[in-house]
Amino acid sequence: MKSLIKKAIGRFGGIVFGNAFRELAEKMSYTTQGMQILLLQQYKDILAQKIRPLPTFDEVGFRCHSQFEEDGILLYLFSMIGTTNKIAMEICAGNGIECNTANLIINHGWNGFLFDGGLDNVEMGRAYFASQKNTFLWPPIFTQAWITAENVNEVIRNVGVNGEIDLLSLDIDGMDYWIWKAIDCIQPRVVVCETQNVIGPDKPLTVPYNENFVAKTPDYNGASLSAMSKLASEKGYRLTGTHRYGFNAFFIRNGIAEDLFPAVSVEACLQHPYSKHAREVRWPKVKDLEWKEV
């Protein structure tokens, strides 16, 4: 263990990051609440000591409840930019056990508002959060709803949320672009959403709007990172990075921590071999289907 810790000490004044951190974390279970709180304090030390350059998203990512390393990136972002009301909303949360907001809800005391179209998912999620020691007294509000561009604001208002919130997560596998475009009753400080990685950085494309859309053809769903970044700009947000594979993107509202997290280009986010392979091998299979340029 001592050799792992020594190996992990790097360029951040003794703070542990990168692959060495992941190796250490596997031994020490960084997915526990205590380890994450310690990590949060280390980020605050970076901020207070004005250590530069800041860690990259690749260096801070880890998974606890997220599908990939979004949990670590979100913990890092909010450690650095602070929080307002610790409200996290997730549209298409599945069963809530593996999603982008669960870690903040369970391990950091955030108030959660989750939505999914599947009743089985919602019932499973409610039972899960009711069984957790950190959430059984105040579980997230988990609502079954088939969300469309026409009803999304009403659905959100019906759970008592409006105005500024800290986090919105979108993972709809279909109408992501159109749903975010329609949302105007809340103003998230951070938005994380899944994008379609088979589409190149120069193509702002989405599947056309269809309120009853269900993904049936592999890779024919969602919107490109370019399309979502363009929409973000129109709504007053900037792309600040993605997870390593380039399809889960993080946007921060303009005016918030621009000195810490400046805008990055779409092209810079799509350099991983996985993304390049997707564009080369999978895009030709769906490029002639109906896509809408935005």
User: In whole angstroms, what is the distance from residue 35 CA to residue 72 CA?
Assistant: 12
pLDDT band for 234, please (50, 70, 90 cuts): very high
pLDDT band for 6, please (50, 70, 90 cuts): very low
pLDDT digits (tens, 9 = 90+) for 92-110: 999 999 999 999 999 999 9
pLDDT digits (tens, 9 = 90+) for 168-211: 999 998 999 999 999 999 999 999 999 999 999 999 999 999 99
pLDDT score of 32: 83
- Region of poorest pLDDT, from 26-35, 225-234, 257-266: 26-35
pLDDT digits (tens, 9 = 90+) for 38-87: 999 999 999 999 999 999 999 999 999 999 999 999 999 999 999 999 99
Quick one: CA dihedral 274, 275, 276, 278, positive or negative? positive
Statement: residue 281 has pLDDT above 90: yes
Say what the pTM is.
0.90
Mean per-residue pLDDT of the chain: 91
Give the DSSP H or E segment for 155.
helix 152-158
pLDDT band for 258, please (50, 70, 90 cuts): very high
130 by DSSP, 3-state: which?
Answer: helix
pLDDT digits (tens, 9 = 90+) for 75-91: 999 999 999 999 999 99
pLDDT band for 138, please (50, 70, 90 cuts): very high
User: In whole angstroms, what is the distance from residue 136 CA to residue 26 CA?
Assistant: 27
The predicted model gives 122-144 an average pLDDT of 96
User: In whole angstroms, what is the distance from residue 169 CA to residue 192 CA?
Assistant: 5
Nearby residues of 86 by Cβ (< 8 Å), 6 or more positions away? 104, 108, 109, 110, 111, 166
8 Å CB contact between 169 and 101: yes
8 Å CB contact between 93 and 105: no
For the chain, what are the domain ranges? 1-60, 83-293
CATH for the stretch 83-293: 3.40.50.150
Nearby residues of 61 by Cβ (< 8 Å), 6 or more positions away? 68, 69, 70, 71, 72, 73, 243, 244
pLDDT score of 34: 87
pLDDT score of 121: 96
